[in-house]
Chains A and B, each alone.
Chain A
Amino acid sequence: MTLLHLAGVRKAYGGNEVVKGIDLELTPGECYGLLGPNGAGKTTTLRLALGLTDPDGGEITLLDKPIPRDGRNARLRLGVVPQTDNLDPDFTVEENLLVYGRYFALSDALIEARIPSLLAFAGLEGRARSRIQALSGGMRRRLALARALVNDPALIFLDEPTTGLDPQARHLIWERLKQLLARGKTILLTTHFMDEAERLCDRIGVMDQGRLIATGSPRELVARHIEPQVVEVYGEGAAQWESAHGAPCDRRERAGETVFCYTHDGDGVLRTLQGRADVRYLHRRANLEDVFLKLTGRDLRD
């Protein structure tokens, strides 16, 4: 079965091309993370895959159905957690699940049988009769996740699932997504949080300005694109240190007062810093965020 296949997909709005030829193929049971700054085209890519907007070029197949022509039927076996909260405010928690399940032509008996386990999964036991307005942001997001599972989908799209949540709520969402992966579900998520992508995703596609500029596992991306260690140097002496001792760095970047020194020889860099009172520093392993910033630059995107 083809879960999702995009080949050469393009989309322009009024002459401004926001998706410039995306190729993507999901494999069963994986978590694929579309990682990119704001405006990179992540949400548009999801809308294209859902059949909610027509591509200007390229081919899309979702759950064996040609998109956008047969999007409505493809979505029978799909779950979607949207970026903005669109739970139904006129209904209680359990009514939200019941009414949403009906859109999939499921019988009330089947949906009602699933509701207790969906509520347990979302950590919303005892909240069945709560109004949506009474839920916290984290609860709403978990309910949106439960709603996306009402049809027991094979594939789940999540658009920035933890944006705006506090750390406790984020960790709980991640925990639940890992459970879904363990059950064999396939996940496509968009995010601009590196730790989220790194924790959850088997494969990552870094998206910028409408293109997939790098793909691979988090580890591969770090190994392929960046030096293994980073020393961040800051303080009033950072600039002076950089001009005197920049040499052990394979690559250097400046961001305000901070010098980012990317290197294979962390100990060599640290020796030049020891005993200096005018700088502070942090030595760490390179991570996905470093890859991301190298590939997409440090400029603001909004």
Chain B
Amino acid sequence: MRAKDLAPPRLSGRLFQVWRRNFLVWRKLAIPSMLGNLADPMLYMLGLGFGIGSLLPEVNGTPYITFLAAGTVCYSTMNSATFEALYSAFSRMHVQRTWDAIMNAPVGLDDIVVAEALWAASKSFLSGLAILSVIWILGLSRAPTMLWLIPLTLLIGLTFGSLGLSMTALAPSYDFFMYYFTLAITPMVLLCGVFFPVDQLPPALQQVSAVLPLTHAIELARPLVNGRAPPAPIVHVVVLAGYALAGLYLALVLTRRRLLT
């Protein structure tokens, strides 16, 4: 590891053009992409929500499907950002060599990595927004506090986009991403309160859950969907932002080490 790899990022305004490139590609395939992003979380939310919801009518005073809806917004935003930062960014970095082409122009690797993180956040923001609209249309919640979920999904997207990019920087091939899903994403889906309250878990697992970023996203989202202000919101925002910044910095250091030698 060289000292230069650890330096703070040096960015130029041209990084916006890298974001714009990804946006332009997305726009061509926007409808299938949105449907793909929506179908999976919708099936979970409606299937489990009505199915399990009929067995346990209320969780902590709210209908199960509404309880699940808040978790679904967070987890589908996480998934969408993660897929973009892993598979799509890896294609651009390693398979199509799009990053190499961009680096021959007056755009630096730091610009590209930050633009990719912002893009993953933007794309997952759209999928979070789509789920929110469904919640509103189905009348699962019409609380005005739901509007706070709009900036929150952007933050969740940035957090998981940044963490995903640091994995991409280490990946020799697409197969590598299975480890990240098995060791990080799936445990988060099951331990962070998407499907059931975290306090149902044994204490040891609750402690694990408390340090995972998705828990903090859901701690913010669930009260907001239920029309209440979350207790201690600053702590959760700081944890998410901390993961975002640490992930982004790690992604920068690792991609510099990988590509600028």
List the interface of chain A (C-beta within 8 A of B): 13, 50, 52-54, 71-76, 78, 80, 82, 84-91, 95, 99-100, 102-105, 151
Contacting residues, chain A, for B205 (C-beta < 8 A): none
Given contacts A53-B260, A82-B101, A88-B96, whether A104 and B24 have CB atoms under 8 Å apart is no
Taking the complex as formed, is B33 at the interface, i.e. its CB lies under 8 A from any CB of chain A? no
Q: A44 → chain B, closest Cβ, in Å? A: 10
Report the Cα distance A94→B260, complex, angstroms. Answer: 30
**Is A90 a contact partner of B25 (Cβ separation < 8 A)?**
yes
- Which stretch from B11-19, B192-200, B215-223 is at the chain A interface? B11-19
Q: Are A86 and B25 in contact (CB under 8 A)?
A: no
Query: In the complex the two chains form, is A86's CB within 8 Å of B106's CB?
Result: no
CA distance A84 to B25 in the complex (A): 22
Bound complex: CA A84 to CA B100 (Å): 10
Tell me the bound Cα distance from A72 to B24 in angstroms.
Answer: 24
- Given A53-B260, A103-B18, A84:B106 Cβ within 8 A: no
Task: Decide if B21 is an interface residue (CB 8 Å cutoff).
Answer: yes
Q: Which residues of B contact A53 (CB under 8 A)?
A: 260-261
Count of chain A to chain B residue pairs whose CB atoms are closer than 8 Å in the complex:
71
B100 touches A82 (CB 8 A): yes
**CB of B9 to closest CB in A, whole Å:** 12
B167–chain A nearest beta-carbon distance, Å: 22
Would you list 8 pairs from A and B whose C-beta atoms are within 8 A, ordered by A residue? Answer: A52-B103, A72-B111, A86-B96, A86-B100, A88-B21, A89-B96, A90-B25, A104-B105
Our pick among A54, A80, A102 for the contact of B104 (Cβ within 8 Å) is A80
Residues on A with C-beta less than 8 A from B2 are 54
Report the Cα distance A86→B13, complex, angstroms.
Answer: 23
- B residues whose Cβ falls under 8 Å from a Cβ of A: 2, 4, 10, 12-14, 17-18, 20-21, 24-25, 28, 96-98, 100-108, 111, 260-261
Contacts of A99 in B (CB 8 A): 17, 20-21, 24
B28 touches A90 (CB 8 A): yes
- Contacts of A82 on B, CB cut-off 8 Å? 100-101, 104
A105 contact from B4, B14, B18, B102, Cβ within 8 A: B14
B28 to A75, Cβ gap below 8 A? Answer: no
Known contacts A99-B24, A103-B14, A105-B14: A72-B106 contact under CB 8 Å: yes
Contact for B20 among A50, A74, A80, A102, CB less than 8 A: A102
Question: Is A72's CB under 8 angstroms from B108's CB?
Answer: yes
Flag if A84 contacts B105 (CB, 8 Å): no
| B96 → chain A closest CB, angstroms | 6
Identify 13 new A-B residue pairs, CB closer than 8 A, beyond the known A54-B260, A90-B25, A103-B107.
Answer: A50-B104, A52-B103, A72-B10, A72-B12, A72-B111, A74-B106, A78-B104, A82-B104, A90-B28, A90-B96, A102-B20, A103-B106, A104-B105
Chain A's nearest CB lies how many Å from the CB of B39? 23
- Tell me, in angstroms, the Cα distance from A89 to B28 when the chains sit together: 13
CB distance from A285 to the nearest CB of B (A): 39
